[in-house]
């Protein structure tokens, strides 16, 4: 009876499904543990061997925690809204829901074959109305919320309205766009006086019309509609969030992106910047992800400084180096800066208009690519707040409108860009450093001593920072300021296949649809494209209205549904709330989150944001979603190549390829074994190779070349799990993917080693066989056998506790080898090993467990405990080294004192030889580790 993995695996899969073995229910008598995988987008290509890497690791951990007695929540679902299904729909006219359905079926089939312990009764799909009903509901929560800076919390908008009724805006400290009030001064129907700077009284509030109130509240809402500068991608026909852009082009497709002012929904994530940074300290995530998030949020400490310009204009700048204030020789405004027009003098009008319109034409990418220094003088001056000097105001596109105030104080002495700008336009470079040579470049060190800086002379950055900020406060010309790079997130997409907003417009005022009426279902459309007039696809729907009032035509971005899905798994079929309070309380945070690092600035940031909102509003008792996270590395492909002699149909083996001029062509990796080409298979692969001739190597084989690349169809290097499961079984594949190396590490896929792992499972299986039939002995195991077992229990338990999945497989191999050598077939020794192996090879473990005579599943067995009595050894084999070089071994009793060990070593016959007649200076004895004789 060989290891018949095909039958074993098929049978157990069937039985698990039939028994609903992995269904989990809330049980307050048991401790909970929540193991989660980042749910996949079900693409048409299906899974390749790289995808399940993280799933296998988390599944092993989930099974391990079950053995340890935890009630484990281990669900799976699909992030099923997304662009590929929509693009396929545009091409074929097929509804994206149908494509999605088919892809999900394929994914499920592949996932099932792997033997995962998912509770499929809890599956969620972000595109199902049952699910997105609650995504819409959460959108509503954010819409009906504002951010209170006093309590540092998200609060219901109703509280804000009460405050307005009582005392207007006085006493309200809300997070909002700093310049929000300026738009009110530009509007035709002035509701506030021209002195309005954001404060209004309860009388003002009460005198407003409903529409005016709503418009005002929009400045406070956490989810708000505003005209904002967005990243517009013409090729994709939609706006994109900052995290969907890489290197200035769209992450998906690599299309150009331009800045455009559009009326869009946004999320006030910037209000949460500080918490998103500081709470990173409370979670156990990989350092690099934390670092990426810190950089993305981009906290920088500095100061705001106000310069009084002509025509009653105040230019406010943000600087991280207020200590260099005396070095300011000009100001630079972004071309989009609001004061550009007012400050431009008549003489400069044409030049400025030219420059501004020119830079508007350029995309951000073009501006970045063009390293040329450009700028133009406005003709105006501003007064330096400390010296009173008049400094010229310039415009330059190296200043970004979206960061800080869109204006900088230029200190050529202390900033390289300012320096370059000054050199280029021949502007003044004031040396404000005592010992710095500015003939070549700026002095950017914070250690440099200041000079020509009045009361700051002799100080460096660290001393001068506070001193200058104090002075600025006294003068009312500035103050310390922390600035964040993180911008509010655009939440509208001009797409079909996404969540519709639960919003309709009453006379242009956005209104939220009541919870009872949700979900707002995605309407049918005749085509999945924008309308002729450029409206999003939803505008094509007939009846896309509510009581005659138009519905919002944008849909939500991909990250909406994925920002809270981990909560829905807790209570996936609840029709009255997104998840019940008791269940959220029971399951709590995700204890182990497994997924790719590529979501660092998207999904992982947005879920933290939504979690904080739900926490603030009292819906969940924790403010971070994922307590611990591990990122699995990417598995790369290993492409194979054949070498065709130019202008022929003859292929030459890799070793001899230099003999001719050859062309390197991909060969499908399924035709290559150990870099040796299956020649017949290759001929049958593509018609053009049917008559191919081969020049072989000296062993009569055709060797292929290879290269490590990303897996892709066009490179013929995609390894699907299906083929390997067919050939070796899921248990082998599970063990092998773990055996490849640390999960976090990226590594090339190489099928070479899989036979070794398969072999190990066969050898393990064979421990239970005698004369080809299942047979174990009930004799008591020997001390040596028990030592192997308990050593293995200890090792595997420690390895799993530190998430070292790969070394567990080695430990199992070692145990199998040792017990095979001991010819051990005793139940007492083998039973615990079956439990140890079951997280890795669940099918085989179940089969052996059943054959051992158990009627219950091995998955519920408690985890074996290593007992010291089996591990203790009487003697320790001391490596004895001389000056650090190990020379011989000496077996001594474990309990022997250091002094006795030293004496034994000195008495040893070999010692004299290695001492070479010298007297030891010192003898280091580390009990149960090493002896080192220093000469």
Partner RNA sequence: GCCCGGAUGGUGGAAUCGGUAGACACGCAGGACUUAAAAUCCUGUGACCAUUGCGGUCGUGUGGGUUCAAGUCCCACUCCGGGUACCA
Q: How far is the CB of 266 from RNA (least distance, A)?
A: 18
Q: Which two tokens stand for residue 411?
A: 């200190």
For residue 383, the Cα-to-chain-centroid distance in whole angstroms is: 47
Q: Give the Cα separation of 820 and 842 in Å (integer).
A: 21
Task: Confirm if 318 and 298 have CB atoms less than 8 A apart.
Answer: no
Q: How far is the CB of 784 from RNA (least distance, A)?
A: 16
How many other CB atoms are found less than 10 A from the CB of residue 347? Answer: 10
Nearer to RNA, 138 or 442 (CB): 442
Q: How far is the CB of 109 from RNA (least distance, A)?
A: 28
SS3 category, 711: coil
Nearer to RNA, 26 or 818 (CB): 818
Q: Which two tokens stand for residue 382?
A: 């501003």
DSSP 218-236: TTTBSEEEEEEEEEEETTT
Backbone angles phi, psi at 537, to 5 degrees: -50, -35
Q: How far is the CB of 904 from RNA (least distance, A)?
A: 17
Nearer to RNA, 707 or 798 (CB): 798
Q: Give the Cα separation of 744 and 633 in Å (integer).
A: 5
Task: Confirm if 481 and 303 have CB atoms less than 8 A apart.
Answer: yes
Q: Give the Cα separation of 159 and 143 in Å (integer).
A: 14
Q: Taking Cα atoms as reference points, which of 812, 802, 930, 799 lies closest to residue 877?
A: 930
Q: Give the Cα separation of 817 and 845 in Å (integer).
A: 18
Nearer to RNA, 274 or 521 (CB): 274
Nearer to RNA, 169 or 270 (CB): 270
Q: How far is the CB of 319 from RNA (least distance, A)?
A: 4
Mention every residue, 6+ apart, whose C-beta is less than 8 A from residue 304: 316, 317, 318, 405, 478, 479, 481
Nearer to RNA, 119 or 731 (CB): 731
Q: How far is the CB of 165 from RNA (least distance, A)?
A: 39
Per-residue HEC secondary structure of 865-916 comes to: CCCHHHHCCCEEEEEEEECCEEEEEEEEECCCCHHHHHHHHHHCHHHHHHHC
Paired residues of 550 in beta bridges: 545
Q: Taking Cα atoms as reference points, which of 416, 393, 423, 377 lies closest to residue 317?
A: 393
Q: Taking Cα atoms as reference points, which of 419, 187, 404, 190 lies closest to residue 324?
A: 419
Q: How far is the CB of 930 from RNA (least distance, A)?
A: 4
Task: Confirm if 116 and 76 have CB atoms less than 8 A apart.
Answer: yes
Per-residue HEC secondary structure of 781-803 comes to: CCHHHHHHHHHHHHHHHHHHHCC
- Token pair 């192997």 is found at 788
Q: How far is the CB of 408 from RNA (least distance, A)?
A: 4
Q: How far is the CB of 353 from RNA (least distance, A)?
A: 20
Nearer to RNA, 398 or 694 (CB): 398
Q: Identify whether 519 is preceded by a cis peptide bond (ω within 30 of 0).
A: yes
Q: How far is the CB of 898 from RNA (least distance, A)?
A: 11
Q: How far is the CB of 860 from RNA (least distance, A)?
A: 27
Nearer to RNA, 67 or 337 (CB): 337
Q: How far is the CB of 695 from RNA (least distance, A)?
A: 20
Q: Taking Cα atoms as reference points, which of 265, 720, 684 lies closest to residue 510?
A: 265
CA distances from 515 to 124, 313, 560, 572, 575 (A): 20, 48, 17, 17, 11
Q: Give the Cα separation of 419 and 424 in Å (integer).
A: 9
Nearer to RNA, 72 or 331 (CB): 331
Nearer to RNA, 22 or 760 (CB): 760
Task: Confirm if 729 and 9 have CB atoms less than 8 A apart.
Answer: yes
Q: How far is the CB of 486 from RNA (least distance, A)?
A: 9
Nearer to RNA, 334 or 352 (CB): 334
Task: Output the CA torsion sign for 607, 613, 619, 623.
Answer: positive
Q: Give the Cα separation of 338 and 335 in Å (integer).
A: 9
Q: Which two tokens stand for residue 586?
A: 């029971």
Q: How far is the CB of 98 from RNA (least distance, A)?
A: 33
Q: How far is the CB of 381 from RNA (least distance, A)?
A: 19
Nearer to RNA, 510 or 879 (CB): 879
Q: How far is the CB of 367 from RNA (least distance, A)?
A: 5
Q: How far is the CB of 406 from RNA (least distance, A)?
A: 5
Nearer to RNA, 518 or 600 (CB): 600
Nearer to RNA, 69 or 753 (CB): 753
Paired residues of 694 in beta bridges: 651
Long-range contacts, 59-62 (Cβ 8 Å, 24+): 59/114, 59/115, 59/116, 59/117, 59/118, 59/734, 59/839, 60/734, 60/738, 60/800, 60/805, 60/839, 60/840, 61/35, 61/592, 61/800, 61/803, 61/839, 62/33, 62/35, 62/117
- Token pair 């000195």 is found at 906
Q: How far is the CB of 718 from RNA (least distance, A)?
A: 19
Task: Confirm if 501 and 520 have CB atoms less than 8 A apart.
Answer: yes
Mention every residue, 6+ apart, whose C-beta is less than 8 A from residue 516: none
């Amino acid at each position: 009876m060989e290891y018949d993995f095909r039958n074993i695996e098929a049978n157990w899969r069937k039985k698990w499904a039939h028994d609903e073995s992995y269904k989990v229910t809330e049980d307050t008598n048991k401790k909970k543990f929540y193991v989660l995988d980042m749910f996949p987008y079900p693409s048409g290509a299906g899974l390749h061997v790289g995808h399940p890497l993280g799933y296998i690791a988390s599944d092993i951990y989930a099974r391990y925690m079950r053995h340890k007695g935890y009630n484990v929540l281990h669900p799976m679902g699909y992030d099923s809204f997304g662009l590929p299904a929509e693009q396929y729909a545009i091409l074929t006219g097929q509804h994206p829901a149908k494509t999605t359905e088919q892809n999900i079926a394929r994914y499920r089939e592949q996932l099932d074959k792997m033997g995962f312990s998912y509770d499929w009764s809890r599956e969620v799909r972000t595109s199902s109305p049952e699910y997105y009903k609650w995504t819409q509901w959460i959108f509503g929560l954010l819409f009906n919320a504002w951010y209170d800076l006093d309590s540092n919390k998200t609060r219901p908008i109703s509280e804000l309205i009460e405050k307005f009724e009582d005392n207007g805006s006085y006493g309200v400290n809300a997070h909002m766009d700093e310049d929000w009030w300026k738009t009110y001064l530009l509007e035709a129907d002035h509701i506030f006086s021209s002195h309005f700077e954001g404060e209004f009284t309860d009388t003002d509030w009460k005198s407003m019309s409903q529409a005016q109130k709503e418009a005002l509240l929009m400045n406070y809402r956490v989810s708000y509609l505003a005209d904002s500068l967005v990243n517009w991608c013409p090729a994709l026909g939609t706006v994109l969030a900052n995290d969907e852009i890489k290197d200035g082009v769209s992450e998906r497709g690599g299309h150009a992106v331009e800045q455009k002012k559009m009326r869009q929904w946004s999320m006030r994530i910037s209000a949460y910047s500080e918490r998103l940074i500081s709470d990173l300290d409370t979670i156990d995530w990989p350092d690099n992800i934390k670092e990426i998030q810190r950089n993305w949020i981009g906290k920088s400490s500095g100061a705001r400084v106000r310069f009084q310009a002509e025509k009653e204009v105040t230019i406010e700048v943000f600087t991280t180096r207020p200590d260099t204030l005396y070095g300011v020789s000009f100001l630079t405004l972004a071309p989009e800066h609001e004061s550009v027009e007012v400050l431009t003098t008549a003489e400069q009008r044409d030049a400025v208009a030219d420059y501004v319109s020119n830079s508007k034409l350029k995309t951000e990418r073009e501006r970045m690519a063009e390293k040329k220094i450009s700028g133009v003088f406005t003709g105006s001056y501003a007064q330096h707040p400390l010296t009173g000097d008049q400094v010229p105001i310039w415009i330059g596109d190296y200043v970004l409108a979206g960061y800080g105030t869109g204006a900088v104080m230029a200190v050529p002495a202390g900033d390289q860009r300012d320096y370059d700008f000054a050199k280029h336009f021949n502007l003044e470079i004031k040396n404000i450093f005592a010992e710095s040579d500015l003939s070549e470049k700026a002095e950017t060190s914070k250690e440099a001593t200041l000079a020509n800086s009045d009361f700051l002379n002799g100080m460096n950055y660290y001393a001068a920072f506070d001193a200058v900020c104090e002075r600025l406060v006294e003068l009312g010309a500035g103050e310390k300021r922390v600035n964040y790079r993180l911008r509010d997130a655009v939440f509208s997409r001009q797409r079909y296949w996404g969540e519709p907003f639960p919003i309709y417009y009453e006379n242009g005022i956005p209104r939220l649809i009541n919870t009872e009426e949700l979900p707002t279902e995605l309407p049918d459309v005749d085509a999945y494209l924008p309308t002729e007039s450029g409206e999003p696809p939803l505008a094509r729907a007939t009846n896309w209205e509510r009581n005659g009032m138009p519905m919002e035509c944008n849909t939500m971005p991909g990250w909406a549904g994925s920002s809270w899905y981990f909560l829905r798994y807790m209570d996936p079929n609840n029709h009255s709330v997104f998840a019940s309070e008791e269940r959220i309380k029971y399951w709590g945070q995700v204890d182990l989150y497994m997924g790719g690092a590529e979501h660092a600035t998207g999904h992982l940031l947005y879920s933290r944001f939504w979690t904080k909102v739900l926490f603030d509003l009292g819906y969940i008792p924790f403010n971070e979603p994922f307590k611990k996270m591990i990122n699995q590395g990417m598995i790369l492909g290993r492409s194979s190549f054949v070498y065709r002699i130019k202008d022929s149909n003859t292929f030459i083996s890799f070793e001899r390829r230099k003999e001719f001029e050859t062309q390197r062509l991909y060969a499908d990796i399924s035709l290559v074994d150990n870099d040796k080409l299956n020649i017949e298979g290759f001929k049958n692969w593509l018609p053009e190779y049917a008559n191919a001739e081969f020049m072989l190597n000296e062993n009569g084989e055709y060797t292929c070349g290879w290269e490590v690349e990303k897996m892709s169809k066009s490179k013929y290097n995609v390894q699907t799990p299906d083929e390997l499961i067919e050939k070796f079984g899921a248990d082998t594949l599970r063990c092998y993917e773990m055996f490849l190396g640390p999960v976090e590490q990226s590594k090339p896929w190489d099928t070479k080693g899989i036979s070794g792992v398969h072999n190990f499972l066969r050898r393990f299986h064979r421990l239970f066989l005698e004369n080809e039939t299942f047979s174990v002995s009930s004799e008591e195991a020997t001390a040596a056998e028990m030592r192997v077992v308990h050593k293995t229990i200890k090792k595997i338990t420690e390895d799993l506790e530190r998430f070292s999945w790969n070394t567990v497989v080695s430990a199992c191999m070692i145990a199998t080898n040792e017990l095979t050598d001991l010819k051990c077939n005793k139940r007492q020794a083998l039973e615990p090993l079956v439990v140890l192996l079951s997280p890795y090879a669940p099918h085989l473990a179940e089969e052996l467990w059943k054959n051992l005579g158990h009627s219950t599943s091995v998955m519920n067995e408690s985890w074996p405990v290593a007992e010291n009595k089996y591990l203790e050894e009487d003697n320790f084999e001391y490596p004895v080294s001389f000056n650090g070089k190990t020379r011989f071994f000496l077996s001594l009793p474990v309990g022997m004192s250091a002094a006795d060990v030293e004496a034994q070593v000195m008495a040893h016959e070999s010692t004299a030889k290695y001492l070479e007649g010298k007297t030891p200076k010192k003898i280091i004895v580390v009990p149960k580790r090493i002896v080192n004789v220093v000469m």
